[in-house]
Structure 1
């Protein structure tokens, strides 16, 4: 480009100079000098115009090229920044939701089984089956676990359990790696005219509730021994159990309503999942056509929704099995939320009431360690109430008594479960 500009300048200068020389010869000396100066000025002007014209073309070409680049990218940097800022400002906040455990275990333990009285390798003494099963220890969790490893087998608890209208059943389950079609828990009413120690019927007894713990979710079905009445079904796919890991499943039955909780969420809630006339009294696990062999432990059944207000304010003491801790730990678990919330509500509505929180343990382990654990648990319950519900800490005292004040026999799993408790005492 520079060579072209230079060439144009030289040619212009040469042409003007040739024409100017013929004209200069006809003039006088004075006119010659004036003409010569005029020619030089003209040459400079033409050269400047040529250079400016060339620069204008160059600038235009650069702008065009820049426009092509920004065209490919959509917008210039400043325009893109402005657009992003506007988009960020206008972007709506996404909808989110939270939930809390809303079940409250009662002050009565109806049944508890952790297989602690059974030897490793044995079939548990209080159960029976039409297949095989074995008590084992596992590397993923403490305690003993019942391995339901029989093909197409059912596992029946041999003693009746008188379920009230409102109860909570909990258990821990470790699904095996396959866990193809899960496991079925059945709560049913025994047929008094045809009682069966091992009931492998598809729909046992006079009626009941099937609870399916599946690989990809949950299913329930209320049934009755009447062909004219259809099954009452419900299902959910939130938070399915995790294979080869301990899972704590909680089921709250409130008359006809069934709710299931897992991993901090309510995973199923069916308001009419049971036939009202059924009074369940039996517990069974079924692996029929399941191709699964899970491990089960810490099966517990309690009453539900106690009158905490009356217990604490009128009777002066509330025994709670709704404050949860892991074995040997002092951290209050999220399953404790509803029970703690109810206690906090009583304190909020009665600002003059002061309480003492007392922790208790069973007799397993060393006395000194149990005493220390019970004190730490009570202190953490106080901290939970003050942090979560803004209860004034000065209204709460704490203590721990370890294993020194049992309320039941420490020689069996159910008695030990009753002794592991938190008491709230009105001062």
Structure 2
């Protein structure tokens, strides 16, 4: 650059002003090109230098060596850790046990299959309107709770034990903001009502409110304050099929949705309450959901005793969609309990047998039952690591019913999976 400046000065001394100006214009272009070329050359040289250094580092690492820069950096990091004495940070995480396992006795089942499309279901009553319909996103019949501010009561009493499980499918409508309320309650002595539209029916009960952003529970009893709880985990989703599970153990209330426990209230029910009624309430809810597949079972069976001591386990906790063999996600708890027993008793082998109800073609039911048993086997192998040699499968279709195939509840008893100990 110094040489260029001297050259300009020399030319200015020996030329006229006009000539000098012409010379400067030409020279300016030359200087610009020279500077650009110089910069480009420096960049190329620097790039080559960096590339060569990177290749050397890679070669040294391959040979198990370290570079001076790496050693310096490592030493600096070591000193920093030594000086600050900080433990490496860990991201907070948590785990929870999916402990839901359905019982081995069906107390109540309703899928509205015996009700005609367009009718109000025969065993229910309401102070509003309702209608049996089909939907495009799920099979079967669905009870559309489409009455404004209406309640929907099952007209018969149910003999609930202290420990039981309620399951149902719900498809919330687009306006499902305030949700729907499911209520278990004990009728007031001497005042039975097949239709009870009280805000707090009976002498005691439990409200479970399903909203699009959270869950709410409220235990109540005459003359007592409410026992309230709420949770926002995994709320029901509008215009989707949601499978809701409510597990009652004396005073304890657990709610499951999307294969996770979303609520666990240890004292959500007043002591001594004996439930015997169920209802859904849309009072002040502004929602019109669809309901189906309501199932009430006893609490979970003693899997170890049933399978190991008695040699046979009948389960309703492994479920499938209509006419399909894929195991549904909510079957996880039951499968895990069976897998645990098999792991604890390593010499035990079992036969898995699928059963169906009598609806549909006999041969198709037989094939379906076999495919379902095979699906259960694959789940135990692939998810829980059970040795395939310990499991065999078979299907009986509709040939071995344990109840008449005359009502939805009896048909539900015949749709089952059995585990038979074979050694």
TM-score, scaled relative to structure 2: 0.80
Given candidates 357, 363, 370, the residue that maps to 1:368 is: 363
Instruction: Say whether the 8 Å CA contact 1:102–1:337 is kept in structure 2.
Output: no
Helix, strand or coil for the counterpart of 1:105?
coil
1:11 CA displacement:
8.1
Instruction: Give per-residue Cα distances to partners, 1:173-209, cap 9 Å, x unaligned.
Output: 1111111311000000011211112111111111010
2:207 aligned residue: 210
- Closer, same or farther: CA 13–91 of 1 in aligned 2, 3 Å: farther
Helix, strand or coil for the counterpart of 1:103?
coil
- Cα distance in 1 between the residues matched to 2:98 and 2:113: 29
Given candidates 178, 185, 190, the residue that maps to 2:175 is: 178
Alignment of 1:250-289 (within 5 A): 250-289=245-284
- Cα distance in 2 between the residues matched to 1:145 and 1:129: 16
1:6 aligned residue: 7
2:302 aligned residue: 307
- Cα distance in 2 between the residues matched to 1:235 and 1:267: 10
- Cα distance in 1 between the residues matched to 2:288 and 2:96: 32
- Cα distance in 1 between the residues matched to 2:372 and 2:88: 45
- Cα distance in 2 between the residues matched to 1:11 and 1:130: 108
Instruction: Say whether the 8 Å CA contact 2:156–2:194 is kept in structure 1.
Output: no
1:75 aligned residue: none
Instruction: Give per-residue Cα distances to partners, 1:281-307, cap 9 Å, x unaligned.
Output: 000111111111111000000011211
Helix, strand or coil for the counterpart of 1:208?
strand
1:329 aligned residue: 324
Of 381-390 and 235-244, the range deviating more from structure 2: 381-390
Alignment of 1:198 onto 2:198: no
- Cα distance in 1 between the residues matched to 2:306 and 2:338: 11
TM-score, scaled relative to structure 1: 0.79
Instruction: Say whether the 8 Å CA contact 1:100–1:338 is kept in structure 2.
Output: no
2:227 aligned residue: 232
Instruction: Say whether the 8 Å CA contact 1:100–1:337 is kept in structure 2.
Output: no
1:5 CA displacement:
2.8
1:9 CA displacement:
4.8
2:22 aligned residue: none
Helix, strand or coil for the counterpart of 2:104?
strand
- Closer, same or farther: CA 11–413 of 1 in aligned 2, 3 Å: closer
1:101 CA displacement:
2.9
Helix, strand or coil for the counterpart of 1:415?
helix
- Closer, same or farther: CA 331–99 of 1 in aligned 2, 3 Å: farther
Given candidates 179, 184, 187, the residue that maps to 1:187 is: 184
Alignment of 1:403-422 (within 5 A): 403-422=398-417
Question: Structure 2: which 5+ residue stretches go unaligned?
Answer: 16-30, 44-53, 55-68, 78-86
Instruction: Say whether the 8 Å CA contact 1:218–1:236 is kept in structure 2.
Output: yes
Helix, strand or coil for the counterpart of 2:366?
helix
Of 5-14 and 93-102, the range deviating more from structure 2: 5-14
Alignment of 1:139 onto 2:140: no
1:25 aligned residue: none
Of 98-107 and 139-148, the range deviating more from structure 2: 98-107
- Cα distance in 1 between the residues matched to 2:142 and 2:94: 36
Report the aligned-residue RMSD.
2.7
1:358 CA displacement:
0.4
Alignment of 1:22-421 (within 5 A): 94-99=91-96, 101-226=98-223, 229-421=224-416
Question: Structure 1: which 5+ residue stretches go unaligned?
Answer: 15-53, 67-77
- Cα distance in 2 between the residues matched to 1:11 and 1:293: 94
- Cα distance in 2 between the residues matched to 1:104 and 1:3: 89
1:21 aligned residue: none
1:343 CA displacement:
1.2
1:333 CA displacement:
2.0
1:245 CA displacement:
1.4
Instruction: Say whether the 8 Å CA contact 1:184–1:213 is kept in structure 2.
Output: yes
Instruction: Say whether the 8 Å CA contact 1:188–1:209 is kept in structure 2.
Output: yes
- Cα distance in 2 between the residues matched to 1:393 and 1:100: 26
Instruction: Say whether the 8 Å CA contact 2:403–2:411 is kept in structure 1.
Output: yes
